[in-house]
Structure 1
Amino acid sequence: MGEIGKLFRDGDSQAVRIPDRFRFEGTEVEFRPGPNPGEVILAPKRMERTGSFDAFFKSRAEIPDWELEGFLEDRDQGVHERDDPLA
């Protein structure tokens, strides 16, 4: 059995008091449905997904070009031939 958190009301909102060892950093968390009916998963907020690469390119724009010079230039991936799926 896991540790128990206490539910309480804060104005019109419901809140939960989280045990110390499960406390989160930051100011926001994310709620997702759990695998079983009625379960809720509480997790650290993930990076926003906009359905595109907008967030990625925005974060990339914040990295100075000099930090990316030569990035992966010496990477040798070798030659890969596709296997024949009918062989």
Structure 2
Amino acid sequence: MNAIVTKVFKSGNSLAVRLPRELGFEADAVVQIERRGNEVVIVDAGQQQSRFQAMLKRLADMPRPAEPEQREPFDYPDRPGLID
């Protein structure tokens, strides 16, 4: 898709940009806006939330590591001259 040039305008006390239909979201969509250097990234927050929930589910379904093996205590023999 080619870059689309538009202007920023004032809407109340906020700045706004009108998104063309081909770049738009549903009318009631919740979006997450993030500045990355001189770029502004708009992501569908509902989609982000569902991906996050899916990741949490996959993590919860992962097998847990086994408990560490318990060993008998080991007494080190005296070794003169090793430690002053």
Instruction: Please tell me the TM-score bracket, short chain as reference.
Output: 0.3 to 0.5
Larger Rg: 2
The structure with the greater share of residues assigned to helix is 2
